[in-house]
Amino acid sequence: MSFVDHIYIYFMGYIVTALITWIGASLYLAHSLRQKIIEHMKNSTLVILTAPDTSQSQWKKFIWINNVASYITHPVFYIKRGELCSSDIQNLPKPIKRKLVALRWAILGLVMCIAMYFVFRTR
């Protein structure tokens, strides 16, 4: 194996480790922030209607917290359609907003890294 192959292997190992960490962070935030998000976003139908119960699966909570992170990171589209209330987003505490935005940008960055890996790997 060449030096470049070793770099690709280490890079993919980093991406897999980062994805596992991201999944763990998503599940932790879904478990710990679910009730606070629901309390602060009572006027947003998109968040309330899709909110998981405590008895629902971890997969449902995982999907929900990542959808909420998307709503917080890119709210304009959902506010225009009337599914998200701008006052709810403003009233959401800054630490929660910061965590959700970081969660969203982390996965966008990881997807870009995976795309770059396959683009450069095929050359």
Model confidence over 51-105: pLDDT tens digits? 877 778 888 999 999 999 999 999 999 899 888 988 989 999 999 999 999 999 9
Cβ pair 33, 96 in contact under 8 A: yes
Total structural domains within the chain: 1
DSSP 76: H
pTM (two decimals): 0.85
Model confidence over 106-120: pLDDT tens digits? 999 999 999 988 888
Domain, as residue range, for 74 = 3-121
Model confidence over 40-50: pLDDT tens digits? 988 888 888 88
> What mean pLDDT comes out for the span 27-33?
92
Predicted pLDDT of residue 118: 86
CA dist., res. 1 & res. 76, Å (int): 49
In sequence order, what DSSP letters do the residues of 28-48 get, joined into one string?
Answer: HHHHHHHHHHHHHTTT-HHHH
